[in-house]
Every structure is written in structure tokens, then in C-alpha cells.
Structure 1
Amino acid sequence: MNYTTQMDAAKKGIITREMNIVARKEGMEAEKLRELIAEGKVVIPANKNHKSLNPEGIGEGLRTKINVNLGISKDCCSIEKELEKVRVAIEMKAEAIMDLSNYGKTENMRKRVIDMSTAMLGTVPMYDAIGFCDKELKDITVDEFFEVVEKHGQDGVDFITIHAGLNRETATAVKNNPRLTQIVSRGGSLLFAWMELNNRENPFYEYYDRLLDICEKYDITISLGDACRPGSLKDATDPAQIKELITLGELTKKAWERNVQVMIEGPGHMALNEIKANMLLEKKLCHGAPFYVLGPLVTDVAPGYDHITAAIGGTVAASSGADFLCYVTPAEHLRLPSLEDMKEGIIAFKIAAHAADIAKGIKGAVEWDNAMSKARADLDWETMFDLAIDGEKARRYRMESSPEDPETCTMCGKMCSMRTMKKILNNEDLNIK
């Protein structure tokens, strides 16, 4: 039986190769996974032209996944440095990479990432439009916007962020409800500017069926972008954000009618006490579609440490229903991240995702922690390093400060509680002096 997309196959009762791979990774019955994909509650972003892909699932009942943003800008345009980030991100087992290159002709960078990446790849075609068309934003035509999307599909991009919910009504809500930080979404601000400069409707909203044609053709997952995500605590859960979310729910159902897979993007900056309610709102208004969040950042006053503020919010968000976390690095709001910034962001969000998976009861999550605790009780340092999220750093810290007793560390020495209990319970000589 033929099928066009993973969702089309799922609705027809077909378990695809990608579904079988994801089911094995998640420890889930393939039939259960197929049902969730058919309902739109799980997506497997897998462009037909991404031949190196090792597929992953995102959504209900699955491990929380993380995404790594990278890409060139006009001020930092070394493709080789960004490709090194890709290599390291894959080594660190990030499930997704977004190439957010926004300078010049981005095709070369994008194709090289797709060729080498086993992780799913996302892009924001709007970032590419000016370089692709080689003209000012206001002069880009509707046809040219869709030509960019088609090109990304041809190249093998697995999911694309499209700010289709920023229609004229939502734009009016932005203007009628002034914000402290206005529209902080880069793609959203560009679309808002195009709409205002041309006095036109958002082409991705007005000609949404045309977008669905392209996505169905290549099996691209639409990541419905939140142009009105809050860029400050003050702007969270305001009329523009909620108006756009309602529209995204309507667009989700239209995509599902065409068997196009959908994720919903979310905030942003948000006080800790608002996160849980926002996760509930998204799941209700967008019919259980997987939720992809940036952070949320729970305070605005920690530049240089925003990987921490965002990981705190990401943990709460994922434990409350978010399925996919876009990492944030220490360089957020300050500069293009370095390789070391990227590493810190990945580790912070791997911790956030795993902590949330424990809270959600994801299969195998707490068992990992139990194995680490047993290794600690046994003073089995090698097993601890093997189980650590960042075993290299754990090993380095221990080696930098060697204890007198090799079983212990330099914090407690022979007064180590683990050592004491192990020896007493084994009827061994304690020998603390």
C-alpha cells in the first residue's frame, strides 16, 4: 500500500520503517506508536530526501527531545565552524539540529548539514528568503516565499518553522496591546514587517494549502511558529500570544486533513508560575499536537547564564506536557554561540529533558538514576563516569583532586558516608584515622 507521509501511513494502518526504529528506541509497541501518529499526538520528522537520518519521535509518551540551534550570520560566517558544531552536537546525542543561517546563499551550508547529520534537521525558510531572492524584504513576492520553502524541501529538511498564525487579526492584536519587547521572533518580525510594508495578509496564512502541498510532497513536518511568543516576563500570556495560539490550533486541523505532521512552537520568556497553564492551553487549543518550546526563560536578568534560566523553565514545561525543548546557550541575547557555549547548552537541556522524563514516568528514565545511585553506594567510580550525562567532565573533576583513599573523593575522604555504610554493613574495619 502506498502512502505520502508518516501520518498518511499511520492512518492507513501501515507501520513504516521509521516507526519501527522509533518504537524500538522508546520501548513502545509499534502499533501504539502508529496510533499516536495517526492522531497527530506524535510526529516523526523525516523528509524523504534526508538519507542519513536516524529517525526520532516527538510527542506523547516519548522521551523529551532536544534541539540545537546553529548557523552562520553576517558577522560570523564561518561554515566550517558551524559544521564542527554539527559534528559535536551529534556526538553529544542531540536529537535535532536547526540550521538558522541567515546570511547570503545558505544552500551550501544546509546541504552539507543534511548529508552529514543523522539528527533531524529543521530550518526557518523566512531567514533564507532575502539571500535566496537577493532583494529587499518588501520586494519579495508570494511566489518567491514558496520557492524558498520548496527548495528547503528538495534539500531534505525534516521540519520547517513557519509563522502562519501571524495573520492580520493577530497583527492587530499586537498593535492594540502594546508589548514591552514587541515581536521578538526573528522570522515573525520579518513577516510582520512584510505585511505592514505591503498592506497584505501573511502569505503562509492566506495560501496555507500551497504550503501543505509542499510539506505533503516531501513529508516535511510543519513546526507552526509562535511569532508572538513573549520576549519578556511582562509580555507572557497576553492577547497576541493567545490569539495566535488559537489560530495555530485551527491550522493544525487543516494540516492533519492533508496528512501533514505538525508541531506547535511555544514561549519564550515566562514566569515560573505561568508555565504549567501555558502547556495545558497549548494541548487543549492545538488538539494534543506535540509542543516545542524555547526555554521558557524564567527570568530576564541573567545574561550569560540563560542556559540555566531556560533549563529551569524547560524542566517545568516538559514535566507539564511539552515534548521538545529548544536549547538555550550562555550566549543567548549576547552573541552567536561558540562551540563551548553550544556544549553547555546541550548539557543543560539534556538534564532538563531527563528530569522531566522522570516526572512524566517515561520508561527507563528513573532506572538510569537508580543505576547511578547503586554505583555511588558501591563506590564504583568507572560505572559512575559511564552513566553520567557528561562523563568526561565528571572524570576530569575527580582526577584534578586525588584523595588519599582511592575509594573516596577529596570532599569527605575516609569520612565518606558511602564508604562508612559499605564497610559497616560488610563487617569490615572502618579505619577512619
Structure 2
Amino acid sequence: MNAAKKGIITKEMRDVLASESIDEKTLLQKMSEGKIVIPANKNHKSLRGIAVGEGMRTKVNVNLGVSEDSYDLDLEFEKVKKALEYKADAIMDLSIYGATKDFRRDLVEYSDVMLGTVPMYDAVAKYGKNIKDMTVDDLFEVVEEHAKNGIDFVTIHAGLNQVCAERVDNNPRLTKVVSRGGAILYEWMKLNNKENPFYEHYDRLLDICVEHDVTLSLGDGLRPGSIKDATDAPQIQELLFLGELTKKAWARDVQVMIEGPGHVPLHEIAANMQLEKKLCHGAPFYVLGPLVTDIAPGYDHITSAIGGALAAASGADFLCYVTPAEHLRLPDLDDMKEGIIASRIAAHAGDIAKQIPGAIEWDNAMSKARGELNWDKMFELCIDPVKAKAYRKSSQPIDGETCTMCGDLCPIKRTKDLA
């Protein structure tokens, strides 16, 4: 952000200029205003600059990481490789157990996309203390360790302060607090009768971000965990504080993203996007889904893609993927692929609606190939060519130019030469 204000084009900015339809002057201006961020820790040497924000392609994040109940670091690193293969734009390591630092270092060395973490999770794993007994220094030391390790953006639930906690207590929810990081801080505040350390000592957090060039992803600790709780007083109260914290970060040239709700009924999604952009001054918005119904365990990649498409069309800049395993277990490789592809479809659908330059041209190229019954070109343009080819191969038509849906009655074949 500081470089943008000075008119300096960094290596990461050049990466963005080469991959997005934006000119140098506009990129500098929007980065200076905080409307576009390029998360790029100076210690992440393998990074390819990727921009999130106004006028950029909607980006997709993949969550992974181990827990005590499912601890297989080799499998998680295989997920890292697959996430990059399936063209994720970001990876978040949400590990809450074991050799987190070693895994994080390997991730930084290997990945060329931006990396995020939630240091609060690691504080629990690192110190092995009861939540009540963690000190303010404990929490900030973990944030600093992640910054030194090369993490590009950190999710910090700094807006969940005592006022917000009171809103939770006075406004009953079906699902009280569903954010892991938010719940840890809520518990810490309650047990110690103290203010959220990240809110009270926010300047200390900004000092770390400035030193290591870390983007602050202001977490929504009170995001709704059910559509009944969406857009309620606790969620909006926290969002108001996030808007204030955004301005304080910008005053220090710290880049900011705002995290948004996870469960929102379809008719409230556009309003949620507008509220965030208004209350947080145009900062990039990162949504966790959102899921548009609560009844579909095993299919939540679909409920998420429906919400994600509308969110992206309404202004969301960054979608966190959701897999079929959501609410059920840690996802495996197949779950991860389903989640990434579903979120990428949602992001692209949103980009078409936002008229992001170049978005609809991909669809037009596919339509042209279909109109020519050019199967090789269709597969080349598929978001998942492996699956498309497998379906085609599994049911071969008599006439190789058509498919087994219509066969000889293929309307494109019967009409393309009549004009």
C-alpha cells in the first residue's frame, strides 16, 4: 500500500498487471485507497502476486490443515499440490495440532499463491494451555512467528470486543458462535473478564504487519452459523468495529480484507455485500460461502456455490471454498476437488455478472466450440477437462461428432450446414 501511494510498481504489482485487465494507474490508485490488496509477505520468496478487490477476478481460497483427530501431514501436503493443480488463488493452513511450524515453512517454500493462517488456532496448539491461561504476549508471539515464517495474510478477530460479546449474550442465536477463532477469544474474554487483546492492543498487531508486510484479514468472529442468525445484531455490530479498524490499519499502510458471513439466505446476500462495502469503506470482501440453506450436509459445496455466485455478483471479491464434507469431517482429496471446482464456477459466474473484462470471453469460446462440435477445443476450455473427458468416454455415440444425449437428432449437427 505504501509503494502504491508513492507510485512504485513492485514485482507483485507487475504480476497482477500481466494477469488482470487493469492498467497501472488504476491499480496504483485502488491499492492506495485500500480497494485492492496484494497479500505478499516479504519473506514469501516463491510468491506470485495475486490481487483481491474491486475490478479484479473473484478469487478462490482453499482451507486445509490437520487436527488431533485427523493428523496426516503428508496428506495435507498432497492437498496443497492438488489445490495448486486445480488453480486455487490462495491457501489457508488452519492446522490446530502437531508440527504446525514445520508444515507452515514447507508450505511457504512450495506455494506460489498467497498463504493465510489463523494464528489463534496455532496459539492453542503451540502452548497447550487452557484458553483462560494464555497471556497477551502468548497471542502476539504466535502472530509474529507466522509473519516471520512468510504468511501473506493473517485472520485476526480483532473486532469481537466486549461490546460485541454483549450483543451475543443479549440476542439469542440458534448457533451462538461458530468461528473457531472467535469462540476462543469470546471464551478468553469471558473467563478473564478482559477486553479482546487484539482490539485493545491493535497498534501492536499493526506493528507486526508493517514490519513483515502482512495483510490483515479482519475475521468475522460472530458470523452467522445458520441462516436464521444471518444479518443479526451481533454480526452487524462486529462489522461496524471492523470498519473502524480498517481505517486505523490504512493509516499505517497496512492492507486489509474483511471476512464475511458463512450462512445467509439468498434474499439477504446482496444486502450483506452492500453493507460491508459501505461500512468498511470499500475494503475487499472475503466471504465464507455463503451457504444459502442449512439442510444439505454432504452437498454444502452446492449450497455454497449458489451463495458464492450471488455474493460475487453483488460485490464479494474473494470466496472461501466449501467442500461436501463441511459440517461432517475433515475433507479428503476428492472433497477438496469438488469444493474448489464449485467455488471456481461460482467465482466465474460472479465475474460475468460484474462484467470483469475477459470473463465472458471464456464462455463465448466454449459456445463457439460447441457450435462447431469441436470436442477437443471444448475439453481444452473445460474448468475440469479430466471429468468432462471421462463422461464423454463412458458413453460413446454411434456418430463420433455427436453425443449420446441426442445422437442423430443433434440439433447443432442438423442445422449448422443449413444456413
* Residue 105 (structure 1) shift: 3.5
Looking at structure 1, the residues matched to 238 and 383 of structure 2 have their Cα atoms a distance apart, in angstroms, of 37
Which residue among 290, 298, 306 is the counterpart of 1:296?
Answer: 290
Which residue among 199, 205, 208 is the counterpart of 2:199?
Answer: 205
Q: What amino acid is aligned across from residue 295 of structure 1 in structure 2? A: G
Q: What amino acid is aligned across from residue 341 of structure 1 in structure 2? A: D
Matched, 1:269 2:248: no
Match of 2:178 in 1: 184
Which residue among 166, 173, 180 is the counterpart of 2:167?
Answer: 173
- TM-score normalized by the length of structure 1: 0.96
Match of 1:310 in 2: 304
Looking at structure 2, the residues matched to 17 and 201 of structure 1 have their Cα atoms a distance apart, in angstroms, of 40
* Residue 109 (structure 1) shift: 1.0
Match of 2:412 in 1: 418
* Residue 36 (structure 1) shift: 0.5
Cα deviations across residues 267-301 of structure 1 (Å, max 9, x unaligned)? Answer: 11111000000100000000000000001100000
Looking at structure 2, the residues matched to 142 and 10 of structure 1 have their Cα atoms a distance apart, in angstroms, of 33
Matched, 1:126 2:151: no
Match of 1:337 in 2: 331
Looking at structure 2, the residues matched to 37 and 98 of structure 1 have their Cα atoms a distance apart, in angstroms, of 23
Match of 1:53 in 2: 47
Looking at structure 2, the residues matched to 62 and 321 of structure 1 have their Cα atoms a distance apart, in angstroms, of 11
Match of 1:30 in 2: 24
* Residue 147 (structure 1) shift: 0.2
* Residue 27 (structure 1) shift: 2.1
Match of 1:108 in 2: 102
Q: What amino acid is aligned across from residue 249 of structure 1 in structure 2? A: G
Matched, 1:260 2:254: yes
Residue 105 of structure 1 contacts residue 128 of structure 1 at CA under 8 Å; is this kept in 2? no
Residue 15 of structure 1 contacts residue 31 of structure 1 at CA under 8 Å; is this kept in 2? no
Tell me the matched-pair count: 419
Matched, 1:195 2:186: no
Gaps of 5+ in 1: 1-6, 426-433
* Residue 13 (structure 1) shift: 1.5
Match of 1:242 in 2: 236
* Residue 424 (structure 1) shift: 2.1
* Residue 374 (structure 1) shift: 0.3
Match of 2:360 in 1: 366
Looking at structure 2, the residues matched to 120 and 387 of structure 1 have their Cα atoms a distance apart, in angstroms, of 25
Looking at structure 1, the residues matched to 329 and 125 of structure 2 have their Cα atoms a distance apart, in angstroms, of 21
After TM superposition, list the pairs within 5 Å mapping 1:381-396 onto structure 2. Answer: 381-396=375-390
Q: How well do the aligned residues superpose, as a CA RMSD in angstroms?
A: 0.7
Residue 163 of structure 1 contacts residue 226 of structure 1 at CA under 8 Å; is this kept in 2? yes
Any idea what SS the aligned residue of 1:340 has?
helix
Match of 1:227 in 2: 221
Looking at structure 2, the residues matched to 37 and 281 of structure 1 have their Cα atoms a distance apart, in angstroms, of 21
Residue 297 of structure 1 contacts residue 309 of structure 1 at CA under 8 Å; is this kept in 2? yes
Looking at structure 2, the residues matched to 180 and 160 of structure 1 have their Cα atoms a distance apart, in angstroms, of 28
Looking at structure 1, the residues matched to 220 and 90 of structure 2 have their Cα atoms a distance apart, in angstroms, of 19
* Residue 142 (structure 1) shift: 0.2
Match of 1:431 in 2: none
Looking at structure 2, the residues matched to 131 and 291 of structure 1 have their Cα atoms a distance apart, in angstroms, of 29
Runs of 4+ with >4 A deviation: none
* Residue 132 (structure 1) shift: 1.5
Looking at structure 1, the residues matched to 275 and 255 of structure 2 have their Cα atoms a distance apart, in angstroms, of 20
- TM-score normalized by the length of structure 2: 0.99
Cα deviations across residues 331-364 of structure 1 (Å, max 9, x unaligned)? Answer: 0000000000000000000100000000000011
Looking at structure 1, the residues matched to 56 and 81 of structure 2 have their Cα atoms a distance apart, in angstroms, of 25
Looking at structure 2, the residues matched to 11 and 420 of structure 1 have their Cα atoms a distance apart, in angstroms, of 59
Residue 294 of structure 1 contacts residue 327 of structure 1 at CA under 8 Å; is this kept in 2? yes
Q: What amino acid is aligned across from residue 63 of structure 2 in structure 1? A: N
* Residue 137 (structure 1) shift: 1.2
Gaps of 5+ in 2: none
Cα deviations across residues 51-76 of structure 1 (Å, max 9, x unaligned)? Answer: 11111000000000000000000011
Which residue among 298, 320, 326 is the counterpart of 1:326?
Answer: 320
Cα deviations across residues 364-423 of structure 1 (Å, max 9, x unaligned)? Answer: 110100000000000000000000100111111101111000100001011101101123
18-27 or 356-365, which moves further after superposition?
18-27
Any idea what SS the aligned residue of 1:424 has?
coil
Matched, 1:147 2:141: yes
Any idea what SS the aligned residue of 2:185 has?
helix
Looking at structure 2, the residues matched to 362 and 423 of structure 1 have their Cα atoms a distance apart, in angstroms, of 34
Any idea what SS the aligned residue of 2:66 has?
coil
Which residue among 118, 126, 137 is the counterpart of 2:131?
Answer: 137
